[in-house]
Amino acid sequence: MAERSKKAIRREQIVRGLMRVLAKRGYAGAPISAVAREAGLTPGLLHYYFKGKQQILLELIEAIQATALERFEERLARASNDPWKRLFAFTDALLEAGGSQDADDAAACWVAIAAEAVHEPAVRRRYRSSLEELATLLRPLLTDVLAAEGRSSEDLTSAVAAITALIQGVHHVDAMAPELAPAGSSARVARHMIVGIVQAQSQVGSHDLPNDAGRRREHR
Amino acid sequence: MAERSKKAIRREQIVRGLMRVLAKRGYAGAPISAVAREAGLTPGLLHYYFKGKQQILLELIEAIQATALERFEERLARASNDPWKRLFAFTDALLEAGGSQDADDAAACWVAIAAEAVHEPAVRRRYRSSLEELATLLRPLLTDVLAAEGRSSEDLTSAVAAITALIQGVHHVDAMAPELAPAGSSARVARHMIVGIVQAQSQVGSHDLPNDAGRRREHR
Amino acid sequence: MAERSKKAIRREQIVRGLMRVLAKRGYAGAPISAVAREAGLTPGLLHYYFKGKQQILLELIEAIQATALERFEERLARASNDPWKRLFAFTDALLEAGGSQDADDAAACWVAIAAEAVHEPAVRRRYRSSLEELATLLRPLLTDVLAAEGRSSEDLTSAVAAITALIQGVHHVDAMAPELAPAGSSARVARHMIVGIVQAQSQVGSHDLPNDAGRRREHR
Amino acid sequence: MAERSKKAIRREQIVRGLMRVLAKRGYAGAPISAVAREAGLTPGLLHYYFKGKQQILLELIEAIQATALERFEERLARASNDPWKRLFAFTDALLEAGGSQDADDAAACWVAIAAEAVHEPAVRRRYRSSLEELATLLRPLLTDVLAAEGRSSEDLTSAVAAITALIQGVHHVDAMAPELAPAGSSARVARHMIVGIVQAQSQVGSHDLPNDAGRRREHR
DNA sequence: TATGAATGAGCTTTCATTCAT
DNA sequence: AATGAATGAAAGCTCATTCAT
């Protein structure tokens, strides 16, 4: 068990080392030697615990995802059975930023990871399965909300995709141009948007939206 | 004019070369030699027209932005004075994807550009000013819509940030996991979300959203 | 003649361009393009007037030498028939520095030229013939002084070499560590040394110098 | 100790590699690959032990200086307390050439180093401090000689600069046109000049040298 | 387990020179 | 005479990875 523990500790050390360097300097600016230095280890040792640099990145993706999902679990446990609260437990958990250095680092890393995913098949696979996992968790939460609001679930897929995209976009803007969005407002803004999506759901798909949107008001 | 054209043509050739390679292989995977090959030129010549690799990237950011804004201008010219149509001219222009190879490439590039922006100050500056330009264009469009809907503009900043984030996120998902969102649904989904945001505007800021959200409709 | 003149003017322009860049940035830091810019010409044109970069350097060596010898001629013309004055006309002409920008540039160039001469046979040849020309001019001047002082000319060769070395060394120090020698003192210091050499001449070659030097005083 | 030795040995190997290539081909003609080949190492390894090419050069400057000063220490240890002998221990140590391949290489290197010093601030700094170190060592030696000869030390600075310049110039001529000076005569010639300088010292500063010089002896 | 020396491939960039115009 | 676009060969440097210890 001490053996197993040592290995796990080392791997975690290394993954955290990559996270910190990646957040500050990007993937190309994160040579193994810098990651090793950040982790307090030597370059050679990284290859003892990981087959290659990419393996560390893959594990980082999992780690970031796992951390976000842990936050979700915690919030979910404290949430009542109210479907809205459960849904927001999810979005708040994923959009929590500025709270900790780790959360900020994770957001910055996520952008770098996405860039790698564009052209590295292995990274792309892992990255996609992260997105799919989020979608899988999100789907029942959203279904419950729609049910509670008396809406149909016909365009559920699009709504899930939209929320997923929104989450990515918020990470993006938080990492790159935090001054665009008032500090800490991300989660709150996202809640508004999601409320909007759910409200819009009922009209979606059957109308030419702009005209309809304008007319809807007139009927008031 | 032919003189001016020669230089401009070469630079455009090079920028397009970077765009294509960048979309497929990422920034680190886009060596000057590959960009030159893609552009049908020699590596040395790229440095004749550009001071360095980063300069090409900066020009690419401008080019992508310019192309998107051209699409916006076109749509705006064809749009009536209806504030909703004008707003959607903007979002549709920015989210149009799958239409052309260039548009898809641009979306993929945007992710790579963002990753560079995280740690390259010059790229970050240009990237930010792109986001700010979008926000600047978006603000009056959204203000008009809110006015037409009889809503206040008090939380305009957050709404603009939200839409900007959404656009980035959609590019992200389109580039990385297009199967999450049904083909070509991005622009339509975005319209729904924006309608939702505007509708949500009136309640924003005064209520604790999760609790309120579920009940809001019931009270109507 | 206008044709001939044009060509001569251009070549001089180019050589002066190299001199200025060479003095500031060294040979490796003096690309053809920079020389052309300094000369107000285009890179292609330099190769029209010179076969290659090295040719310009060779002509620069001649130009610097010619300028120094012109200064010598001028001073010699104004000097009386006093052998010492004629000798100092030579050393002063070669060590004049700080007087003009050109003279300072020339000193700095001379160091760069020497460095090229170490490994470029053609440069080395020209450089050596410059030194030999100086030696040739110096020899009769020194002979006359020795004769006037009633000294033998037996170690003339060494004395000439010594003065030549001193001139090079002064250029060296002037270019690199001007604060070591009080401003403008080079020529004056050199005069002192040369007086010393001539005075020492008579004892040179037959004694073990240190012992002798010490004893010489005792005999006073 | 073996650990310390390994690193020190490698660095010395590399510095010597640079010295040999530099002496033959100049700085621009001494690519890292050639230095590595000369040292029996691979190019990548040079960057493992040195941050860059310039760092190797800086270390070479120190090494050459250190070697010369070691020779000086040796000679000084064997010298009596005679001030002349001690002074000549210095000049002989610095002008010893033709004795070893290393000494010849060092002289040729010195010219290349000077050329770099003209335009590379870091090299210039190190080069200057070498000259200043020489001056610092030379000053007390010369002061003692002047005292022993009953001369004042009023123009000590100029005399030190003059001797320093002479040493540089002799290296220069030795490296470039050794046939100008009879083989091995450098040190001997330098002795003569220095004796001359010391003798000239007493007249320095009070007379207009050229006019006076010829007559000086006659008046005695 | 751990180290860090060593390698080699690959990158960006510079530049003398050529040449069509 | 003059331009400046184009080439291609090199250079310095970085870094993932391997491996002897």
Q: Which nucleotide is nearest to C49 (CA to C1')?
A: F1
Given a cut of 50, whether residue A12 has pLDDT beyond it is yes
Cβ count within 10 A of residue A17: 23
CA distance B115 to A108: 8
Quote the minimal CA–CA distance from B2 to chain A in Å. Answer: 38
Q: Which residues in chain B touch residue A118, judged by CB atoms under 8 angstroms apart? A: 23-24, 26, 108, 111-112, 175-176
- State the first-to-last Cα distance of chain D, in angstroms, to the nearest integer: 65
Quote the minimal CA–CA distance from A42 to chain B in Å. Answer: 24
Q: Token pair for residue D50?
A: 């040195």
pLDDT band at A173 (very low <50, low <70, confident <90, very high): confident
Q: Token pair for residue A133?
A: 């996992």
The gap from C-alpha D31 to its chain's centroid, in whole angstroms, comes to 25
Q: Which of B88, B111, B194 sits opposite A114 (nearest CB)?
A: B111
Given a cut of 80, whether residue B196 has pLDDT beyond it is no
Share of chain D above pLDDT 70, in %: 86
Mean pLDDT of the residues in chain A: 85
In Å, what is the separation between the CA of A48 and the C1' of F20?
15
Look at A119 and B210 and tell me if their CB atoms are within 8 Å. no
D with A: touching (≥3 Cβ pairs within 8 Å): no
Quote the minimal CA–CA distance from C213 to chain D in Å. Answer: 7
- Beta-carbon-side half-sphere exposure of residue C152 (alpha carbons within 13 Å): 6
pLDDT band at A200 (very low <50, low <70, confident <90, very high): low
In Å, what is the separation between the CA of B148 and the C1' of F1?
69
Q: Which residues in chain D touch residue C165, judged by CB atoms under 8 angstroms apart? A: 166, 169-170, 172-173, 181, 186, 189
pLDDT band at C99 (very low <50, low <70, confident <90, very high): low
C with B: touching (≥3 Cβ pairs within 8 Å): no
Q: Which domains does chain C have, with CATH numbers?
A: 1-50 (1.10.10.60), 61-218 (1.10.357.10)
pLDDT computed for residue C104 by the predictor: 84
Task: Pick left, alpha or beta for residue B50 (phi over 0 → left; psi -120 to 50 → alpha; otherwise beta).
Answer: beta
pLDDT computed for residue C26 by the predictor: 93
Structure confidence by residue, pLDDT tens digits, C29-66: 999 999 999 999 999 999 999 999 999 999 999 999 99
How many residues are there in chain A?
220
Q: Which of A159, A170, A192 sits opposite B197 (nearest CB)?
A: A192
**Which positions of chain F lie under 7 Å from any protein Cβ?**
1-20
pLDDT computed for residue B97 by the predictor: 65
Give per-residue burial for D55-87: e unless 16+ CB within 10 Å, then b.
Answer: bbbbbbbebbbeebbebbeebbeebeebbbbbb
CA distance A204 to A197: 9
Say how many CB pairs under 8 Å bridge A and B: 245
Is any atom of strand E within 7 angstroms of residue A45's beta carbon?
A: yes
Structure confidence by residue, pLDDT tens digits, B70-96: 999 999 999 989 999 999 999 999 987
* Contacting subunits of A (3+ beta carbon pairs below 8 A): B
Is any atom of strand E within 7 angstroms of residue A156's beta carbon?
A: no
- State the first-to-last Cα distance of chain A, in angstroms, to the nearest integer: 68
Distances (CA, A) of B220 to A202, A218, D63: 16, 16, 88
In this structure, of A61-70, B8-17, C180-189, the range with the lowest mean pLDDT score is: C180-189
Maximum Cα–Cα distance across chain A: 71
pLDDT band at C184 (very low <50, low <70, confident <90, very high): low
pLDDT band at A5 (very low <50, low <70, confident <90, very high): confident
CA distance D14 to D6: 12
Q: Which amino acid would we find at residue A97?
A: A
Structure confidence by residue, pLDDT tens digits, C144-157: 998 998 888 877 88
The gap from C-alpha A139 to its chain's centroid, in whole angstroms, comes to 15
Q: What phi and psi values does residue B70 have, to the nearest 5 degrees? A: -60, -45
For D25, nearest residue in chain C (alpha carbons): C119
Tell which wins on pLDDT, A186 or A163: A163
Structure confidence by residue, pLDDT tens digits, B104-159: 899 899 999 999 998 999 999 999 999 999 999 999 999 999 899 888 887 788 88
The single-letter DSSP state of residue A177 is -
CB C181 within 8 A of CB C174: yes
CA distance C145 to A39: 76
CB A11 within 8 A of CB A59: yes
Q: Mean per-residue pLDDT for A199-204?
A: 51
Q: Token pair for residue A156?
A: 């559920």
Structure confidence by residue, pLDDT tens digits, D119-156: 999 999 999 999 999 999 999 999 999 899 888 887 78
CB B168 within 8 A of CB A181: no
Per-residue pLDDT of chain D (220 residues; tens, 9 = 90+): 444 678 999 999 999 999 999 999 999 999 999 999 999 999 999 999 999 999 999 999 999 999 999 999 999 999 989 999 999 999 999 987 666 888 889 989 999 999 999 899 999 999 999 999 999 999 999 999 989 988 888 778 888 988 999 999 998 888 888 888 776 677 877 887 888 777 764 443 333 444 344 333 333 3
Quote the minimal CA–CA distance from A142 to chain B in Å. Answer: 13
Is any atom of strand E within 7 angstroms of residue C31's beta carbon?
A: yes
CB A92 within 8 A of CB A187: yes
Cβ count within 10 A of residue D184: 14
**Which positions of chain E lie under 7 Å from any protein Cβ?**
1-20
Q: Which of B29, B84, B161 sits opposite A189 (nearest CB)?
A: B161
pLDDT computed for residue D219 by the predictor: 33
Given a cut of 70, whether residue B46 has pLDDT beyond it is yes
Look at D213 and C191 and tell me if their CB atoms are within 8 Å. yes
pLDDT computed for residue B98 by the predictor: 60
CA distance D150 to D78: 25
Closest to D192 (Cα-Cα) out of C155, C219, C167: C155
Given a cut of 70, whether residue A99 has pLDDT beyond it is no
Share of chain B above pLDDT 90, in %: 59
Q: Is the dihedral of CA A27, A29, A32, A35 positive or negative?
A: negative
CA distance D64 to D107: 9
Is any atom of strand E within 7 angstroms of residue B3's beta carbon?
A: no
Q: Mean per-residue pLDDT for A170-186?
A: 80
In this structure, of A62-66, A214-218, B199-203, C46-50, the range with the lowest mean pLDDT score is: A214-218
Quote the minimal CA–CA distance from D116 to chain C in Å. Answer: 7
Q: Token pair for residue C151?
A: 């000294």
For chain A, what percentages of helix, strand and coil (3-state, to nearest 5) are there? Answer: 80, 0, 20
Tell me which residues from 39 to 68 on chain B have a beta carbon below 7 angstroms from nucleic acid strand F. 41-45, 48
pLDDT computed for residue A218 by the predictor: 34
Cβ count within 10 A of residue B150: 9
Hey, is A113 helix, strand or coil? helix
